[in-house]
Amino acid sequence: MSTRHGELATFLVHEQWRLEQLAYDIAGHRCTARQCAETAAAVERVSAVLRDYAASLPFERFAEEPGSSTVVEGGSDG
């Protein structure tokens, strides 16, 4: 696994833990407004990081049959 992929995976696992902790705290009526706001900001960061990562991947053009696709190297529509 390359450093970039490893860093992304580590980041995502950390943020997954944050979401799990929030869910646990919400269920136990222990979450705070600050915790909710910080987690919301973290989710926005995850979204931005994943969009950037997706933009670096080969563009996939989906065929008409479900489950089949054609990868087009070096491009994206964005």
The lowest-confidence range among 35-39, 52-56, 73-77 is 73-77
The domain limits of the chain are 3-72
- Residue 62, classed as helix, strand or coil, is strand
CA–CA separation, 27 vs 12, rounded Å? 22
The pLDDT, as a whole number, for residue 43 is 97
Question: Does the model's pTM come out above 0.85?
Answer: no
CB neighbours of residue 35 within 10 Å: 15
